[in-house]
Amino acid sequence: MNKTIERNENGTVIMNLRNLKIICDRKGLYQTPENNETIYLHYLGFDKIQNLEPYKNLVALWLNNNAIGKIENLDELTQLVNLYLNHNLIQKIENLSFLTNLCTLNLSHNSIKKIENLQALTKLQNLNISNNHLAGYESLENLQECLSITNLDLSNNFISYEKPILELFGKTNLGCLYLKANSFVRECSDYRKIMIVTIKTLKYLDDKPVTVGERRISEAWQTGGKAAEQQERIAQIEQRKEINYQNYLQTLERQQRGEMRNNLLTQKDNLQREISLLQILLADGDDVQNQLEQKEKELQNIETELEKYKIDQLTPYQCVLTTRDEFGNIIILNKSEDEVIQIKQKYFNDDIQPLSETDLPDFESGNQSNTLTEDLEDLNNSNLEQQNINNYIYEDKKVKILREVKDKKEGWTLENEQLLQNLLIFHQFDYQIVSKELKKKMEEQNSKLKYLDPEDLKLIWTYIELTKQKNHKPQNLDGID
């Protein structure tokens, strides 16, 4: 097929079916006219609209930047929604009554002298007729019959100020109006205020939105002149101040609630440490049951108080079973590699490795104990006695303590541990006093031992007690009745 565009004797491209198919082929459109919903015929030099009947399913038609002098031969394009005829030689709006679905019509940069013949276009919302030859009331009077138009561009015409034109605008439903580059803007005193109070539906005028505050100021000006306008401006300033003050109070309240929540979390953390230590002492046979119950009651009260400062999570975290290896790296259980990658990207910053099942680490030797899966199976065993469950929970608490104290215990010798034990017994486990005494003795010995604060000493002492319990071997009871 010869794909050369046909032209008439004047060298103008002819809008015939053959040329249209060639153009569609060049632009990657369908060769079958009915299959096209959009067709681009701009910048081709057409001087006449014709032979578009086969393209009856068009929704958007670009005919801009040609040499078209008349709107014609569009009756079959009843599905058309967007029509672009800007930058042509059109002098009159006509032959559009069959385009009942038309929503957007661009006729800018033509030679049109009057808005007319648009009454049948009941769905028309956007009309751009800027840069034409509109002038005077007669050129605009038919706008009152086009109440569906909400966006109108009349900029760069020859429209001068007339009171009937102002009244005409008041009868429209315009939400957006461009009237700049017309003498109307210069000749109309207080142009912006007048347009705002005249067009009740106006939301955008020229290059600036019409805010609620500006409309209130304009309406006050219309009612009481400059004095009323000034009062309204002052009232809006006071209103903004009040809003800003309320926002400040809300921010301050959120900050105070955050501080209170952080304080409660700190208290909760300290109580949990003390409870862990008391549980260990209780397991060793010390009479600390009353103290333990008191601390647990305090912890319960703090958790109740924390409910008042609860932070709502917009996106709940996915529940995944995890543990850590002997180096502290997170390991996700029972997930594939792809699932681990997704979970890592969404919830973690650590390096995560997939593992189908793993053991809880032994922090003393680096060896692994029974697998976590086996532990869970034991817990779910219906024949398991309650004492075994309590032992499991107790062992889990020990593991958590061991994790936390692992690094802080580094560098401690048996002499240091014995000194800590003696000081604790002498000062009746007052960690504040013991911390001061121990720091003083370490300075005298030029020791570089770190983590000597009260909270750290609690953890270290807990670690020492757990180690003793772990290394304790039962005596030979043979021969005892």
Q: Name which residue leads in pLDDT, 131 or 290.
A: 131
When comparing pLDDT for 82 and 309, which is higher?
82
User: Which of the residue ranges 146-155, 359-368, 396-405, 447-456 has the most confident prediction, judged by mean pLDDT?
Assistant: 146-155
Confidence of residue 459 (pLDDT cuts 50, 70, 90): confident
Query: Is 159 in contact with 135 (CB distance < 8 Å)?
Result: yes
- pLDDT at position 134 is 96
DSSP code per residue over 292-353:
HHHHHHHHHHHHHHHGGGPPPPSSPPP---EEE-TT--EEEES--HHHHHHHHHHH--S--E
Cα–Cα dist 280/294, whole Å: 16
* Side-chain-facing half-sphere of 210: CA atoms under 13 Å: 25
User: What average pLDDT does the chain have?
Assistant: 80
Per-residue model confidence (pLDDT) at position 216 = 95
Q: β-strand 330-333 against 322-324: which pairing, if any?
A: antiparallel
Residue 409 has pLDDT above 80, yes or no: no
Per-residue model confidence as pLDDT tens digits over 113-137: 999 999 999 999 999 999 999 998 9
Q: Which range in 140-149, 274-283, 307-316, 457-466 is most confidently predicted, on average pLDDT?
A: 140-149
- Could you tell me the pLDDT band of residue 365, with boundaries at 50, 70 and 90? very low
Residues 277, 281, 284, 289, CA torsion sign:
negative
Confidence of residue 39 (pLDDT cuts 50, 70, 90): very high
Q: 204 has which bridge partners?
A: 176, 209
pLDDT at 452: 77
- For residue 150, which amino acid is it? T
| Model confidence pLDDT, tens digit, residues 179-228 | 999 999 999 999 999 999 999 999 999 989 999 999 999 999 999 999 99
With a cut of 90, say whether residue 59 has pLDDT above it. Answer: yes
Coil vs helix vs strand at 106: strand
Maximum mean pLDDT: which of 8-22, 149-163, 329-343:
149-163
Helix (H) or strand (E) holding 48: none
Amino acid (one-letter) located at 83: L
Query: Which of 334-343 are b and which e, b meaning 16 or more Cβ less than 10 Å from the residue's Cβ?
Result: ebeeeebeeb
Which structure tokens are listed for 415?
A: 């002499």
Q: Identify the weakest region by mean pLDDT among 137-141, 318-322, 475-479.
A: 475-479
First to last CA, the chain: 113
pLDDT at 404 over 70: no
Backbone angles phi, psi at 455, to 5 degrees: -65, -35
CB atoms within 10 A of CB 207: 8
List the single range of 61-65, 108-112, 424-428, 470-474 with lowest mean pLDDT.
470-474
Which CATH class name applies to 17-224? alpha beta
